[in-house]
Structure 1
Amino acid sequence: MTEAQLKNIKTLIDQNQLGEAVVRIEQLLNSSEKSADLHFLYGQIFQKRGEWGRAINQFQCVLELDPQFPGAQNQIEMARSILGFYNPDLMNP
């Protein structure tokens, strides 16, 4: 995997072309060694889609590959915070 490929995927995510970004990430994950960078980008895609459980799983993969990866633990905490949000006023309009 090259820096150009990572930059291309980041650009696709920034342009909200998530489907194409997923295809490219999966191709790279299937053809090369595990990459914390790819799993982090994959987690960002799941976050954008509101798929919090899958996002957390990807960020956990990042930490397994690189325990010091910048931002991964923060992303997990943020996703868990969103999942744990509870407002009783929303239940009783």
Structure 2
Amino acid sequence: MENIEIENSLKVIEDLLKTEKAEQARKLFEELEEQNSVRYFLLKGKIEQKYQNWGEAINAFSRVLDMEPGNTEAINNLHLIKNILNFWNPDLLNP
């Protein structure tokens, strides 16, 4: 796939995610070759996050931070996942 095709595919995937068409986004994403880019791993993280694949999402967002340490989108998503995984409701333990 050429760079222009890849960029177009990434844009389509972003648009699908924004319009809550995660299944279509995931299928299209799986057809792409892995790219060593911030945009690619941000999308991978968002897709994995949608499907609650927390480990995969964390790995993808961490890759983004390896490439671009100040990336606020990756930082915010990692923070969100961490809060979800650390959520604790004491009322659930005291029936």
Band of TM-score, shorter chain = 0.7 to 0.9
1:58 aligns with 2:32: no
Distance 1:54 1:82 in 2: 15
TM-score relative to the length of structure 2: 0.77
- The yes-or-no answer on 1:5 pairing with 2:9 is yes
Aligned residues: 91
Partner Cα distance (1:72, 1:21) in 2: 19
- Offset at residue 90 of structure 1 (A): 1.3
Alignment of 1:40-59 (within 5 A): 40-59=42-61
Moved over 4 A (4+): none
Identify if the C-alpha distance between structure 1 residues 35 and 28 changes in structure 2 by more than 3 Å, giving closer, same or farther: farther
Q: Does residue 81 of structure 2 align to residue 89 of structure 1?
A: no
SS in 2 for 1:75: helix
Unmatched 5+ stretches in structure 2? none
Q: Which stretches in structure 1 are left out of the alignment for 5+ residues? A: none
User: Quick check: 1:37 aligned with 2:39?
Assistant: yes
Structure 1 stretch displaced more, 12-21 or 83-92: 12-21
